[in-house]
Structure 1
Amino acid sequence: MSSRSWKKKVASDRIQSRLEEVKSVIVKDYVRDTNLNNLPTSTAYRVSGVHIYVDILNLEEMLGTTNVEGETCHRRTLRFLNLHYRAVARILSDIDAIQVDFHNQRLHAVITKPYGNEQERIHRGVALSQLIIDVLKETVEQTDDKLPPAVVRAGIDSGMALAVNNGRRGHREPLFLGRPANLAAKRAGGGEEPGIFMTNSARTIIGLRKVLDEDKSSLSLSEIRASQEKAKLTTTASNVLKSWREDLHANPIGKFTFSSHTPPFSTLDLEKLSPRNSRRQDALSLYADIDRFTDYVTENIDNIENSKDVVRCLHVLRSELHEVLTKDFQGIKVRFIGDCIHGALVEGTAGNTDTQETIETALLCAGALRSSFDLAKNILVKNDIDCNLGLAIGIEYGPISLTRLGIKGEMVRCCISRGVLTSEKEQLRCTGTQTAIGAVAYRNSPQWITEWFDETRIKSGITYQSASEKKNSSQKPQNPNTLLRSATAASTGTSSGLAFSDKPGGPVKPAGFA
């Protein structure tokens, strides 16, 4: 492994430069037909809207259809997501909703119209959610290996959020921060029961009774129908499906063809990926979430000057997390998801991932992320920008696939695997001072890591200095490549499923299924 390290002076200089970029911030109130795409870094809008999160509940089931996590389950899952993404993107375009993010199984959309009428927007949000549910039940293909329909759960809330730029250098899209986005996401992720789940505050606005448990009380059929009648959407499920099928015929989904990338991931250009040019290899997935940021936005959004500090804080913290991941430790940022960064790291060669070195790099990176985060907070406070925030980090190892979904000109990044789902779950276990490591990564870690973590696989206060000192004081194992098997063995199901060849992998049946 080439040098992967963190230096306080380098980080401090970067943070000071990022802070200078947002020395002057403009916060405006959203008005009719404001274009939120390609917002300048130093500009934000306060937007009153209805936030909808839609989760596809059976993604984990799709990834678990084979005992070995090989190309077959990844290829089927990516095709499954691609079919659904193209249908949902068409729905949002037809009814003039803002597509904020489509991250694997999770969609975030915002409705801002009709302006000045929150009740009608909420009814529209319910009607949109049901339309997505109805369409995704039917977006399946009649193939030799029929994909199942999506099982969908939607969450809805309404209120004021802060819209800022999400992304850097050519990968920019609007990001909405604040309580309505957070609560809609929590309702969508609040259980395994499909349906539409709405916060009590949104229920009250449209005259519905409050419920004791928002995560267990979906909207009734009569409540949904009442909203559909009031929303009067101009498109129907049958119209969407007709257009979707015509689009698939004109622009068929390419076969997902995999090859591995020569480490590190920092040299991989995600914007050049496509179904026919996808990557797949053993690697590590990392989620780092800024803890308490939603409360921070809520506490400050009503005051323009305080909102400016929110923009400064977010820009500085996210930029530095990005630099640590991609520059200091040569990983790749898959995307920002609200105030969370999702990334991936790999060490070794294109043909063979060095399992222990990859996990070791990831834990050092996690420590560096926290060291930079704490340093940035101190610098922000010295500049009279209050930010009492934390950082929760989760990591997991396994085979991952990286690609982009959609059609040319409208493609979104996608990174899927069982490990990706687990790394997010590990992050959710953490408080703002903790780092958690997944079971697979823990079992295959260097000795200094397994000795450092107990059976809970979670630890507080890991910094770059503490991780480096622990590593340096421990004897490194002699044989770090114990997890890997040959690509041929992986394809026949005789290995752990965590390794494969540095060769393009193609389907052996029509329609992209192996």
Structure 2
Amino acid sequence: MWKETEAKERLLKSYDETKDLVVKPLTKEMNLENLTTTDCRIVTGVHLYLDPVNLQQHLDEAGEDKEKLRKLLRHLHVYQRVLTSLLYEMDGAEKIHFQGARLHAIFYKPYDTTDVKDPPLKRLAAANQFVSQAKELSKLVTAETGFTFNLEAGIEAGDTIATVNGRCGSRELLFVGEAANAAAKVLTGKTGTRYGPSATPLVASLPAPEALPERWEKSVQEECSKFPISHFNLFEPKERIDFERLGVRTAKLDAASFFADLSGFTKLVAEAVDKRDLLRCLHAVRAEMHQVVRADYDGDHIQYQGDRIQGLFYDAAASSRYVSKSFEAAAAMQSVMKVCQEMLPTLAEVGMTVGIDHGRVLVTYLGLKGNRDIVVLGESVPAASALQDGAKPGQTKVSKTVHDKLEDDLKALFAAEGTAYLSTADAEQVAAKQEARAYAGKVAVVGTASTGVRVVPSSSGVQPARSWWWK
């Protein structure tokens, strides 16, 4: 359970740990994977999201049929592996991560500091060529597996800040800035390639993309041979999922999908002249967001996505109360933001938005060795993301399914809004509801120092009015 005093100590510690943080432009050759939490770069480049928009349709058609699901998972696994390999054949291309089946990548060469003619156009051309070849590559995978991915690309150019964060011994390369956000926001859920406002003026000057080299047909066949359908087993977890040991095994379970976002932070980054303190604050609050999901409420941290976090709550990790715990974590996130606004003045205008949905999901760990991503598939994942996108600062938005599964006292903290439910509750309000449940009537403090002091129901006692222990 989240406690304010402990959170303040952690935030100050995290903030102090980055006192030597530096942020400077990326102007020469550097492996972005070598960045640290205190060594950041402003990267001028092109952000790309490549999304199989019909994945959910394939999942729906497979339903509970394990054999169909195994075939689909194999298709996704091979697709992600060859797509990553294709990306890394391009100079100056970097995989950020897969958000489920959606690839997020950046193209940052040639640098503006080189004598190459028109670097912005060449970076956009590289992204455009990758999209074209990725579509050809996807067809080659289809020829081997029988599944077709209909792809949509979102592309935007501009400056973003590259940094890293750790998760359970792993390092996550992260980008913060408007270009990364805009590339995602132009996606519509339909096939095609769409460009953000900064990339659009260059589109008319793009050269025709080169065809995918013929050798990729053999590469796809070899990948399919290495990963026969029999390797893809599904299981229902009886304990917390060990992602590092999943491999191509896939957990199938009911879970609450959770997204929490720092609303207004990207705008701050764009407007700030000195971005150093913003990044120090970001590292501090992101560490606390991880603490809330993982340590305080027993969820799993799936990944950071810029200035937001994706979490997953389920029975085997968080107990049968896992849905209620996901909302308690959301309320704690709102309290985290209030504390940050008080302690870190740079974040005074930043808010927290949270979205939660519930449903059947598949959880696996896909990609190339040493460069894999936790992948969570299921309708509730994009639904939770959309709920978070639709929330205003200070709000938690949940689906009817989530609301129906909450305990009655927690339901009282919500108001209906269309087909969803909205709450502005923080950790203190949730704690007060839980205390009222525990002590439905009046209580008294009894006992002595020698025998032990305790709170008990008492008709002649007092009615608890607010939380005293969440602090």
Deviation at 1:407, TM superposition (A): 4.0
Find the residue that maps to 1:201 and give its secondary structure: coil
Point out the structure with the larger strand share. Answer: 2
Q: Structure 1 CA distance, aligned partners of 2:438 and 2:402? A: 19
Aligned residues of 2:323 and 2:406 also touching (Cα < 8 A): yes
| Contact 1:134-1:237 within 8 A present in 2 as well | no
What do residues 192-244 of structure 1 show as CA deviations (whole Å, max 9, x unaligned)?
331111123222245x3xxxxxxxxxxxxxx7xx5235xxx5x7153333322
How far the C-alpha of 1:368 sits from its partner, in A, is: 0.9
Query: 2:263 matched to 1:291?
Result: yes
Measure how far apart 1:331 and its partner are.
1.3
Pick aligned residue for 1:227 from 192, 196, 207:
207
1:159 aligns with 2:135: no
Which amino acid in 2 is paired with 1:132? A
Q: Tell me how large the CA RMSD over aligned residues is.
A: 2.5
2:255 equivalent to 1:275: no
Matches within 5 A, 1:362-511: 362-381=326-345, 385-456=346-417, 457-474=420-437
What is the TM-score when the length of structure 2 is the normalising length? Answer: 0.84
Q: Could you list the runs of 5+ residues in structure 2 that have no partner in the other structure?
A: 113-118, 440-471
CA change 1:452–1:373 in 2 (3 A) is: closer
Change (3 A) 1:328 1:475: closer
SS at match of 2:331: helix
AA partner of residue 280 (structure 1): K
- Change beyond 3 A, Cα 1:387–1:164: farther
**Aligned amino acid, residue 338 of structure 2:** D
Q: CA deviation at 1:321?
A: 0.3
Equivalent residue runs for 1:169-318 within 5 Å: 169-187=168-186, 189=187, 191-205=188-202, 208=204, 226-228=206-208, 236=212, 238-250=214-226, 252=228, 255-263=231-239, 265=240, 268-276=241-249, 278-300=250-272, 303=273, 306-318=274-286
SS at 2:13 equivalent: helix
When normalised by structure 1's length, the TM-score is 0.78
Choose the corresponding residue for 2:132, options 130, 133, 138.
130
What is the deviation of 1:349?
Answer: 8.2
Alignment size in residue pairs: 430
- State how far apart, in whole Å, the 1-side matches of 2:394 and 2:437 are: 24
Alignment partner, residue 503 of structure 1:
none
CA deviation vs aligned residue, 1:443-490 (integer Å, no higher than 9, x gap):
3332223343233233242201112223443599xxxxxxxxxxxxxx
Instruction: Show CA shifts across 1:272-304 (max 9, x none).
Output: 22113x32222221111111222111112xx3x
Q: Provide the secondary structure at the position in 1 that maps to 2:33.
A: coil
Aligned residue among 288, 291, 298 for 1:330: 298
Give yes or no for contact 1:179–1:298 (8 Å, CA) kept in 2: yes
Distance 1:376 1:321 in 2: 11
Q: Matches of 1:349 and 1:158 in 2, distance apart?
A: 40
Q: Is 1:346 paired with 2:307?
A: no
Q: Distance in 1 between matches of 2:276 and 2:162?
A: 12
- The answer as to whether partners of 1:335 and 1:342 remain within 8 angstroms in 2 is yes
CA distance in 1, matches of 2:178, 2:368: 32
Larger Rg: 2
Closer/same/farther in 2, CA of residues 180 and 136 from structure 1, 3 Å limit: same
1:398 offset after TM fit, Å? 2.4
- Is the 8 Å Cα contact of residues 155 and 197 (structure 1) preserved in structure 2? yes
Q: What amino acid does structure 1 have at the position aligned with 2:135?
A: I
Please list every run of 5 or more consecutive structure 1 residues that lacks an aligned counterpart in the other structure. Answer: 209-222, 477-514
Amino acid at match of 1:130: S
Question: What do residues 319-362 of structure 1 show as CA deviations (whole Å, max 9, x unaligned)?
Answer: 00001111111211011111111111223689xx72xx221111
- Measured in 2, the distance between the counterparts of 1:69 and 1:388 equals 46
Q: Which residue of 1 aligns with 2:15?
A: 19
